[in-house]
Structure 1
């Protein structure tokens, strides 16, 4: 097993504005360190709350060896629990999603309420205390219609994120949308390569013909820097702000999350092949069709697009050192009807194409990195500021976790 000192040495060996050393992309021990120090400590985007529309709606997630149930209770609150029976540890829910009035372990039928309380356990004796055997709680927050979980004993504070999410995502009324479609693909690449690819559009014009019909590949709009450095971005932000739609670039001091609203190209108002709206019913209180897209990322596992006619959420989950699951969810007005207010193929085709194109890109990237000839290469300061920002965040986060706050303070 790779030691913390070895990991620190690898982190310190990375040159500024360069990609990471090879082990960060393919080494099983580094992957386990990622799980311990990031995925089991930080808030992880789990699902839009619209994916859990009614009492008993649940999904399950796997983060490393940790299996988690996320369920909506009778009180409408969404909670998360370890997917492990308090009897002999069997997994309670094997399905990825479903609806159930109670959570019942299939092994010996121990039965839990949707709030995690143990309701029934057969023949356990008079001295058995059901109240001491409820499901193990996992930190869970619903933030402006997006559900996050945290596996850590003490979860990081979310107050600043909640404040900004209410401003930027509130007009899209995410909690009152519905799921029109969801796709999940497996990419044969390390999770960091998936995030790196998302954080730049250097590759877009040559790889994403459908996306580039309306999505601008200007790095001043979609990179790490303030979009108002672009004339088009500044005019769009000013117009939206004047209409009461928060749009200015804002980023967490730790650079874990960011919000910014960018325009579409030309007269485009949505991600469609003709640039026209994909859904006829505008969502929330967005004041006009050409509001562009509010881009929201939250490391380590999500980027999202909030439009006037629909919302796209993207969830990244690591499966192995060189395997990652990417789940995309299309959300529309809760009263929108397929076939009347939107055509499903038209709504989804741009990002289904784009996701498959990105899958091929990152898989080829992984294959090239696995070569013994791989050496970390330099980033373009004009085009890959977002990639560098993500990799810098990753290195700082890992360094802090490996060193510990006391040693960091002493340096």
Structure 2
């Protein structure tokens, strides 16, 4: 017992030392340079990332149309925290820790499904869709209080069909409700509740989650790495990109006039510190409709009330773990979740109109082809990046303040968030 106690003390001391070291690294960092290597590869600092970011901040987990009816659910792993997302009888989306209040077993073991009640497979403790304990057997003593043993809930909010959860004891604001309200407004044309999940992919990447996000936050690498994506994508980050030439601005204004005529929201909106949450509609290349290999339609049924097939791509960013592309006949959501200091999972999901028939109105190969290629290319880039950072020859390098300003914004947000949460203890 004393040896175990001593081991716990050593682990606690190591974590506290790591917090001190991490604070020092973040305080002294130059905002236009990459991070010091331990922030990308040290297991102790990764644990701090999980505790101070992924267990305290709002995280994107999925879309409401994945669980359209009572009892529909999906599960997600946030580090060592299995989480259950389920729709109750009143239509509300709830989030629970997917762990039984009896002895902690995981309750829902499938990735997605449908249930009348939530039944733990270990000893059959049963909960309703609001997390209330309904049955614990006759073996519990007469003083056992069912009301005190409901499922542990997590904070859960929705906006524009997006589902966000927070595992913290309290949930941060930071303009988040304003972001959700704008999501409702900007996603209204798509009628998300009348969409369906067409296909999803899960990619394992041997790279720190921050490297995955950094790679996404710039298109400096696109010309040399993403030929399929650049068939339709204009590399400018948004309508306020300082690199954007006049011909792009002219193209945007011409497209925006058509969007205005159809009542499609498009103006840049950002929320929270250093644009943590951002929405902007960007045109695609002239003559292209959606992000397919040749730019032609991916589904014969447009989404919601959309009529103009050249709707561009509405890009939605949510730090720390999601970016998304909303188009006229389908949309794609991306979710990043860390596994370890040098491992991440990237999940991509493609949605189409709920009445679209696979093989007639769309085929999944056409939907997936561009982003399957792009994700694989980004995986290679991220893993090479991680290998280089692990070298004793690595030292932080400078970001371009024009081509990589999105990366700078991300790391500014990350640094300030971690320091703020560490100081709040």
> TM-score by structure 2 length?
0.91
Is residue 67 of structure 1 aligned with residue 82 of structure 2? yes
CA distance in 1, matches of 2:47, 2:242: 28
Name the CA shift for 1:222/1:84 in 2 (closer, same or farther; >3 Å).
farther
- Work out the CA distance in 1 between the residues paired with 2:189 and 2:19: 44
| Residue 183 (structure 1) aligned with residue 201 (structure 2) | yes
Cα deviations by residue, 1:266-308 (Å, 9 ceiling, x for unpaired): 2001011111110111101224110100000100010001101
Matches within 5 A, 1:245-264: 245-254=264-273, 255-264=275-284
Alignment counterpart, residue 211 of structure 1, candidates 229, 254, 257 = 229
Q: For the Cα contact (< 8 Å) 1:227–1:249, is it kept in 2?
A: no
1:196 and 2:196 aligned = no
**What SS class does the counterpart of residue 259 from structure 1 fall into?**
strand
Which residue of 34, 46, 49 corresponds with 1:34? 49
Q: Distance in 2 between matches of 1:221 and 1:384?
A: 15
Q: 1:125 to 1:53 in 2, by over 3 A?
A: same
Give the 3 Å change call, closer, same or farther, for CA 220–160 of structure 1 in structure 2.
closer
For the 8 Å contact 2:61–2:164, the answer to whether it is kept is: yes
2:159 counterpart residue number = 143
| Contact residue 182 and residue 329 of structure 1 kept, 8 A | yes
Q: How does 1:310-321 map to 2 (within 5 A)?
A: 310-321=330-341
Output one character per residue of 1:318-338: Cα deviation in whole Å (capped at 9) or x when no partner: 111111111111000111111
- 118 and 253 in structure 1: CA distance in 2 versus 1, 3 angstrom threshold: closer
Q: Is 1:54 equivalent to 2:72 in the alignment?
A: no
**Aligned runs of 1:236-275 on 2, under 5 Å?**
236-254=255-273, 255-275=275-295
Over aligned residue pairs, what C-alpha RMSD do you find? Answer: 1.9
Q: What do residues 128-184 of structure 1 show as CA deviations (whole Å, max 9, x unaligned)?
A: 221221111111112111111110111123320122111211111122200110111
Q: Does 1:285 align with 2:284?
A: no
Aligned position for 1:119: 134
Q: Distance in 1 between matches of 2:277 and 2:303?
A: 24
Change (3 A) 1:221 1:212: farther
SS in structure 2 at match of 1:62: strand
Give secondary structure in 2 for the equivalent of 1:185: strand
The answer on whether the counterparts of 2:205 and 2:346 sit within 8 Å (CA) in structure 1 is yes
1:8 positional shift: 1.5
Pick one of 401, 415, 418 that aligns with 1:381: 401
Q: Whole-Å Cα distance in 2 between the matches of residues 257 and 202 of structure 1?
A: 21
Contact preservation (8 Å) 1:282, 1:289: yes
Aligned-pair distance for 1:59? 1.5
Cα distance 1:75–1:238, how it changes in 2: closer, same or farther (>3 A)?
same
Among candidates 318, 324, 339, match of residue 304 of structure 1? 324
| Structure 1 residue 232: Cα displacement | 3.0
State the TM-score, normalizing by the size of structure 1. Answer: 0.94
Query: 1:184/1:222 Cα in 2 relative to 1: closer, same or farther (>3 Å)?
Result: farther
CA distance in structure 2 between the aligned counterparts of 1:249 and 1:282, rounded to whole angstroms: 23
**Alpha-carbon distance change, 166 to 72 in structure 1, aligned in 2, over 3 angstroms:** same
Match of 1:409 in 2: none
Q: 2:28 matched to 1:13?
A: yes
- Matched-pair contact (CA < 8 Å) for 1:102–1:112: yes
Task: Determine helix, strand or coil for the equivalent of 1:379.
Answer: coil
- SS of match in other structure, 1:402: helix
How far the C-alpha of 1:118 sits from its partner, in A, is: 0.8
CA pair 171-92 structure 1, distance change in 2 beyond 3 A: same
Partner residue, 2:362: 342
Distance in 1, Cα, partners of 2:220 & 2:77: 32
Q: Residues 367, 342 of structure 1: CA spacing in aligned structure 2 closer, same or farther, 3 A cutoff?
A: same
> In structure 1, which of residues 44, 47, 52 is the aligned counterpart of residue 59 of structure 2?
44
What corresponds to 2:187 in structure 1? 169
- Which deviates more, 353-362 or 118-127? 118-127
Paired residue secondary structure (2:360): coil
Equivalent in the alignment of 1:131: 147
Give the total of aligned pairs.
Answer: 405
Q: Summarize deviations over 1:219-250 as a string: whole Å, max 9, x none.
A: 55596999998443344334423432111111
